[in-house]
Structure 1
Amino acid sequence: MELTFASYNIHKAVGVDGRFDPDRIIRVLRELRADIIALQECDRRFGERESVLPKAMLDDTPWHAADVARRPRSLGWHGNALLVRRDIKVGETEALHLPTLEPRGAIRADLECEGKRIRVLGMHLDLSGLRRREQVQAVLDHCNGHGDGCPTVLMGDFNQWGEGRRALRELRGAWQVLETGRSFPSRRPLASLDRIVASPDWTCHDARVHHSPTAAAASDHLPVVARLAIA
């Protein structure tokens, strides 16, 4: 079984030109041709925290949203959402609280595809290195607490500028931190803030930043993509 995973911080659908343009985000998502997409900053931060991508817009796409929202007008949890190809069955979902002073969260969905169960977690980590390490550890503790050997993929905006920082060192060894490339800022990428991390069950056939004229304008981040296979 081979699946394409993607992670994309959509910056509340506001592009580098300052325009709010959800349609442009949808065009980028279509370019990715991904089976499973983790989104960050997909909901407004205040009020009813409504999605910046109207749910009706997804009706004409290959994906549906995993049920992780805790507010009726939200697509995700603390801005994190998972879009899943329509023929992939979504099982148990969970919204995770991450340790921080600023509201942060992660989401988990157990999926069934071609008779196999896989687990996907999406997240948007803190700017603070100390908090980020604690958040990574909380995610790992959650995975270990569900110690059923389920093949797992972690995706999101890790807000990690340096390769040698401790937050990523927590993952290396037991996990595959894929070299997707520099994704921020979108016009002239300097940092690999956006990450895809896979459990050892997966074989990576491709990992890259998706760069197109539309993606360079649609958000301040570029999407990252990985093609992963499992026996």
Structure 2
Amino acid sequence: MSAVRLVTFNLHHGVGDDGRHDLVRVARLLDDADPDLVCLQEVDRHFAERSEFVDQALLLAEALDRELAWSPSIDRPPTGGRSERRQYGNALLSRLPVLSSRVHPLPGGGEPRSALHARVQLGGGELEVVTTHLSSAAAADRAAQAAVVAGLPPAGLPGVVVGDLNADAAAPELAVLGERFADAWELAADRSDQSGRFSLRAGRGLTHPARRPRVRIDQVWVSPGVSVSGARVLDGSATSDHHPLLVELAVTPAARPSAAPGDAG
């Protein structure tokens, strides 16, 4: 059995509640959490002035000494005499070796959405990791997108689906996730959040908006073979409009099915 610390965090392109873009404080927050896996949403790579046209994914990977896997949801040509493509999407920063990664465009209208499906090496096996950011506009789009991401980790192997799902875990459009996965927040015996001790919202794992959280849209879903010992909502108010969610996982390895004749690895 392998212990894995995982953080999922909607970065809001590194802009905190003070309106400042500051990747240094993002890196400090994540470094203090000391996760093995960091699953990020709303990450800019040379995207716009709002993030000073920097490559946020690469800078954070280097600052934390993690391997980077990238999933652009938006990919546009350079602008204003710049040479880098303007990209925005999801990132995985991994202390564990990344064996493979693949980008999956998701259905739906409005802002383009994608999912990053990676396979990481554990001490005694592997873990399937899907990082995504579902539509904020329409429940029907979220339902279609959730159906895609729920089917990405192969059946019978330990896996997680994480990200900003823009709906409560009990929302009807996320029911397809509950058919294969369990909500890590509900499984965790030890959990804490950013609500005050006497708040009626305490213990609910609310993550957004960071200043006064009202909804639990940042989630981790785990397959059979992945247990949850703890879940904690960290304080991200200085770095984003979301709070990060940290989960402590224990992964029981499973044998990977043999490829059928003719299948590519």
Shorter-chain TM-score: what band? 0.7 to 0.9
> Which of 177, 191, 208 is 1:184 aligned to?
208
User: Which structure 1 residue ranges, 5 or more long, are not aligned?
Assistant: none
Show CA shifts across 1:108-166 (max 9, x none). Answer: 111112131111010000011110010000112333xx44x221011100011x45321
1:83 aligns with 2:93: yes
- Do the aligned partners of 1:187 and 1:217 also contact (CA within 8 Å) in 2? no
Displacement, 1:46? 5.0
Does structure 1 conserve the Cα–Cα contact (< 8 Å) formed by 2:233 and 2:246?
A: yes
Partner of 2:217: 193
Q: Give the TM-score of the pair, scaled to structure 2.
A: 0.75
Contact (CA 8 Å) 1:12, 1:52: kept in 2 or not? no
Give the Cα separation in 1 of the matches to 2:244 and 2:11.
9
Give the alignment of 1:149-160 within 5 angstroms. Answer: 149-160=156-167
Distance 1:230 1:220 in 2: 31
Match of residue 34 from structure 2: 33
CA distance in 1, matches of 2:163, 2:243: 12
Query: What is the CA–CA distance in structure 2 between the aligned matches of 1:53 and 1:225, rounded to whole Å?
Result: 21
Task: Name the counterpart of 1:20.
Answer: 21
Q: Name the count of aligned residue pairs.
A: 220
Picking from 132, 148, 159, the partner of 1:138 is: 148
For 1:226 and 1:56, the matched residues in 2 are separated by: 24
Give structure 2 stretches of 5+ with no counterpart: 76-82, 186-190, 192-204, 253-265
Q: Assess if the C-alpha contact under 8 Å between 2:103 and 2:116 holds in 1.
A: yes
The TM-score, its normalising length taken from structure 1, stands at 0.85
Matches within 5 A, 1:1-231: 1-43=2-44, 46=47, 52-53=55-56, 55-66=58-69, 68=71, 78-85=88-95, 88-101=96-109, 102-127=111-136, 128-143=138-153, 146-147=154-155, 149-160=156-167, 162-179=168-185, 181-211=205-235, 215-231=236-252
Q: Deviations over 1:5-42 (max 9, x none)?
A: 11001100111111111111111111221100110011
The change in CA–CA distance for 1:27 and 1:169 in structure 2 (over 3 A counts) is: same
* Cα pair distance change 1:20/1:52, threshold 3 Å: farther
Q: Give the superposition deviation at 1:74.
A: 7.5
Q: Specify the structure having the higher radius of gyration (Cα).
A: 2
Which amino acid in structure 2 is aligned with residue 230 of structure 1?
A: V
